[in-house]
Chain A
Amino acid sequence: MSNGRVGAYGLGLAAAVGLGLALYTYATPLTGVTGTAGAAIAIALATAVLVSAVGLVVSRRPGWRNVLHALAFVALVGTAIAAFFLHEWGVLVAMALGLMALLVSLTGIGARTHSRTEVSG
């Protein structure tokens, strides 16, 4: 399996964990952020990360992958910022792991591009 796919799967896993935790803190009483707009924003952003990760797993087109990488990055950072101010530390850790996975996925782009260059040369 390529680095890109491994990274995408890792990103998806981190996003799923983050989304689950964000949903839990939104819906569970006495988390401090139960039912708040901020917690809903964290859920929306974590969902965006997960969607991006799924897109990265299934998409082969470099253009799309670049867009999805960018979207994933913005959503990751947004989720992490929201989690920080919501004191959702589990979500924050998940997003940090997701960021590492995203970097791994990005190395996959480089490898693939390099490989194509060799073939065409």
Chain B
Amino acid sequence: MRHGHRAGLAGLLLTAGLAAPALAQDTARWDTFHGQLNAQKYSPLDQITADNVDQLEKVWEIHTGDISDGTGDRPATVWSATPIYANATLYIGTPFYRILALDPATGEEKWSFDTHSSLEALTQPALKNRGVAYWAAEDPAEGETCQKIVYLGTMDARLFAVDADTGQPCAGFADNGVFDLNQFNDTNARWPLSLLQPPTVVGDHLLLGWAGKDWAFAEAPPGSVFSLNARTGEVEWVLPTLPEDIREKTGTANVWTAMSADEERGLVYLPISSPSPNYWGGNRTESIPLATSTTAVDIETGDVVWSRQWVHHDIWDYDTNSAPTLVDITVDGTTIPALIQATKQGFLFVVNRETGEDVWPIEERPVPSGAVPGEVYAPTQPFPTKPAPLLDQSTKPDVWWIADAVGFGECSALFDRLHYDGMYSPPTTEGAGVMAYPDSSGGVQWGGVAFDPESQTAIVNTSHIVQYIQLFSRADYDTHTGGSGNESGFYPQTGAPFGMSLKVAMNWLGMPCWAPPFGELVAIDMHTGDVSWRRPMGASQKYGFYMPESLGSPTIGGPAVTAGGVIFIGASMDAKVRAYALSDGRELWEDIVEAPAVSVPAVYEHQGREYVAFAVGGNTILKDQVGDQVVVYALPEGR
């Protein structure tokens, strides 16, 4: 059984006999969240190579001042912005919802813009920001402002548009430079439609998803994606992601992460999240075909061209959480316009991006059922046959004997009380609950997959984290005490008959109960779908103590890859940024930064010199260490 829509544009292209346009990849652009609209995070720059990357030096750093550790009245900051290079300027958004325009060579501030946002954690447990977006008119009007615009969203659902040269608001955009998305928040409006992810700019279209509040309500704002005119802010089309007749009794299935686009084909690809509530689906037993999917949409009309659902009736919060990476790959001698969708489950689904059809077979396989009242379980789920899963989610992970010994058997006792029959084991009220492996942090997070088009190698970082989920009847839940944190704790799922808890499997000292590695960097040969190499990535760190790098670290953030044969990535718990060899995964260089660099690095050329930039913000999912640093590296001048 295959769930999805196939139609329209792909068929037209094929029947009309049009030559498939190739992805542009010869220009050094880094002007979107994933570097390029195809989300390859690839730079053709080759000044920095595997042979000289160890000579990198810090050429500048700044501290934005927009930082909070959450100990005072202000919520903690979580900053995952990709610096973007455009208009001979480095632009970045901050978690205090300011835009900074910086000199790419020195870090000197050209201008800044403050949205004066309320700095309240209205939907997320922290002040979050993933940066800004940039648009430039193809035919700029001489002498007029706002022919180049920088956009920044806020947690209270406002999108600001400012002139890229001056930082002044663009009066012609929406309401004096501010678009209020919350004006469309008319169903189950329990919280604002937070704009934490910058819009995806495709031609003159701004594609806008939004973020909400996980695990709190059964009935929530229904998912919707907006296309705005980049110049005026006028709404061009809206794509509702939930069927009309069930929108009020469920919610979300929103797009909270970046999207990718194939401008030549006129398609934008939406990674769509799961419906609400996250861990019980008795209120949404009907088919919701776009939920937890990758959906290709006509950029001009918003019509769905094809959609592939990666989790049927998702009751694990396995949102599709990263922009699919668009690649042209040669398999068995045939060049295929493909798309790689990384997932929280640790799968890489590879399909033809024109049609949504499998590149390597994706099989529907039976999965376990459960016995929670009111729930209706999907009998099968899709499993890709290639590439192999990034982690083994078929059997219960081993207990880490060191953590178990330190905990005097605490870990093995916990594992014995947890049910697990593969990752699609349904949440339960029984025992200590069900093991969530991979957990809702992934697998793979929003950093997604980088791709080197020369060698056709996909690069992806992954986490191995064990959590456990337990459902509680409403009466039992109300008697439980305990706080909720950042992706850990008790959550009510108000409106559902079950509240829930989500906890990380750790011993009393905070050591992970499961066997390492805790995170890896993986390279996959996309000619064959086989793993070229894999290695533990980074080091876990607690109280300042580093665990051996052979154990790896959970990772948040993504890699960048260059024509110089170098992979740049932060992402690890130990607050280091690193370079690895594309050829074999050797670690080539590292530097200590202020906090975990949980963003995608930027690689850009300015005045003939290649730079690598990291935003260093931290994420409480990894550890309580925050940062406000932008740090930029280059080879010494003259080399």
> Contact: A37 with B543, CB < 8 Å?
yes
Chain B residue with the shortest CB-CB distance to A29: B594
Number of A-B contacts (CB under 8 A): 29
Residues of B within 8 A of A37 (CB): 543-544
Contact residues of B between 557 and 599, Cβ < 8 Å to A: 574-576, 592-594
Chain A residue with the shortest CB-CB distance to B631: A30
Say whether A72 faces chain B, with CB atoms less than 8 Å apart. Answer: no
Per-residue interface assignment for chain A, residues 55 to 89, with 1 indicating a CB less than 8 Å from any chain B CB and 0 otherwise:
00000000000000000000000000010011100
> Contact: A86 with B544, CB < 8 Å?
yes
Distance of A86 Cα from B547 Cα, bound (Å): 9
> Contact: A86 with B593, CB < 8 Å?
no
Contact residues of A between 16 and 34, Cβ < 8 Å to B: 29-33
Of A29, A30, A36, which contacts B544 at CB under 8 A? A36
Distance of A66 Cα from B581 Cα, bound (Å): 54
Say whether A38 faces chain B, with CB atoms less than 8 Å apart. Answer: yes
A39 to chain B, nearest CB (A): 5
Distance of A86 Cα from B546 Cα, bound (Å): 6
> Contact: A30 with B545, CB < 8 Å?
no
B63 to chain A, nearest CB (A): 10
Known: A32-B574, A32-B575. A39 touches B594 (CB 8 A): no
Per-residue interface assignment for chain B, residues 509 to 552, with 1 indicating a CB less than 8 Å from any chain A CB and 0 otherwise:
00000000000000000000000000000000001111100000
> Contact: B576 with A32, CB < 8 Å?
yes
> Contact: A38 with B544, CB < 8 Å?
yes
Residues of A within 8 A of B574 (CB): 32
> Contact: B594 with A30, CB < 8 Å?
yes
Q: Among B544, B575, B592, B593, which residue has the most Cβ atoms of chain A within 10 A?
A: B544
Chain A residue with the shortest CB-CB distance to B616: A30
> Contact: B576 with A38, CB < 8 Å?
no
Residues of A within 8 A of B593 (CB): 30
B57 to chain A, nearest CB (A): 14
Distance of A31 Cα from B592 Cα, bound (Å): 7
Distance of A82 Cα from B544 Cα, bound (Å): 10
Distance of A75 Cα from B85 Cα, bound (Å): 51
Distance of A37 Cα from B331 Cα, bound (Å): 52
B582 to chain A, nearest CB (A): 26
Per-residue interface assignment for chain B, residues 222 to 250, with 1 indicating a CB less than 8 Å from any chain A CB and 0 otherwise:
00000000000000000000000000000
A38 to chain B, nearest CB (A): 3
Distance of A31 Cα from B574 Cα, bound (Å): 11
Distance of A31 Cα from B593 Cα, bound (Å): 8
Q: Among B543, B545, B576, which residue has the most Cβ atoms of chain A within 10 A?
A: B545
* Majority secondary structure of chain B interface residues (helix, strand, loop or mixed): loop
Residues of A within 8 A of B575 (CB): 32
Residues of A within 8 A of B592 (CB): 30-32
Chain B residue with the shortest CB-CB distance to A81: B545
> Contact: A33 with B544, CB < 8 Å?
yes
B617 to chain A, nearest CB (A): 15
How many residues on A have C-beta within 8 angstroms of the other chain's C-beta atoms?
A: 14
Distance of A85 Cα from B567 Cα, bound (Å): 27
> Contact: A86 with B594, CB < 8 Å?
no
A102 to chain B, nearest CB (A): 24
Distance of A41 Cα from B542 Cα, bound (Å): 13
A89 to chain B, nearest CB (A): 12
Distance of A33 Cα from B543 Cα, bound (Å): 8
A33 to chain B, nearest CB (A): 4
Chain B residue with the shortest CB-CB distance to A31: B592
Of A31, A32, A36, A87, which contacts B543 at CB under 8 A? A36
Chain A residue with the shortest CB-CB distance to B593: A30
Residues of A within 8 A of B545 (CB): 38, 82, 85-86
Distance of A74 Cα from B205 Cα, bound (Å): 66
B518 to chain A, nearest CB (A): 16
A23 to chain B, nearest CB (A): 14
Residues of B within 8 A of A39 (CB): 544
Distance of A38 Cα from B546 Cα, bound (Å): 10
Per-residue interface assignment for chain A, residues 78 to 120, with 1 indicating a CB less than 8 Å from any chain B CB and 0 otherwise:
0000100111000000000000000000000000000000000
Chain A residue with the shortest CB-CB distance to B576: A32
Known: A32-B574, A32-B575, A32-B576. A87 touches B594 (CB 8 A): no
Per-residue interface assignment for chain B, residues 390 to 407, with 1 indicating a CB less than 8 Å from any chain A CB and 0 otherwise:
000000000000000000
Chain A residue with the shortest CB-CB distance to B575: A32
Residues of A within 8 A of B576 (CB): 32
A90 to chain B, nearest CB (A): 15
Distance of A33 Cα from B623 Cα, bound (Å): 13
Distance of A82 Cα from B545 Cα, bound (Å): 7
Residues of B within 8 A of A31 (CB): 592
A43 to chain B, nearest CB (A): 11
Residues of A within 8 A of B543 (CB): 36-38, 41
Distance of A33 Cα from B545 Cα, bound (Å): 8
Residues of B within 8 A of A30 (CB): 592-594
Residues of B within 8 A of A33 (CB): 544
Distance of A41 Cα from B574 Cα, bound (Å): 18
B61 to chain A, nearest CB (A): 9
Known: A32-B574, A32-B575. A85 touches B546 (CB 8 A): yes
Chain B residue with the shortest CB-CB distance to A36: B544
Contact residues of B between 299 and 352, Cβ < 8 Å to A: none
Chain A residue with the shortest CB-CB distance to B574: A32
Residues of A within 8 A of B544 (CB): 32-33, 36-39, 86
Residues of A within 8 A of B547 (CB): 85
Per-residue interface assignment for chain B, residues 486 to 502, with 1 indicating a CB less than 8 Å from any chain A CB and 0 otherwise:
00000000000000000
Residues of A within 8 A of B546 (CB): 32, 85-87
A37 to chain B, nearest CB (A): 4
Residues of A within 8 A of B594 (CB): 29-30
Report 26 cross-chain contacts, Cβ distance below 8 Å, ordered by A residue. Answer: A29-B594, A30-B592, A30-B593, A30-B594, A31-B592, A32-B546, A32-B574, A32-B575, A32-B576, A36-B543, A36-B544, A37-B543, A37-B544, A38-B543, A38-B544, A38-B545, A39-B544, A41-B543, A82-B545, A85-B545, A85-B546, A85-B547, A86-B544, A86-B545, A86-B546, A87-B546
Chain A residues with a Cβ under 8 A of chain B:
29-33, 36-39, 41, 82, 85-87
The 8 nearest A-B residue pairs measured at CB: A36-B544, A38-B544, A33-B544, A85-B545, A37-B543, A38-B543, A32-B592, A38-B545
6 additional A-B residue pairs with CB within 8 Å, beyond A30-B594, A32-B576, A37-B544: A31-B592, A32-B575, A38-B545, A41-B543, A86-B544, A87-B546
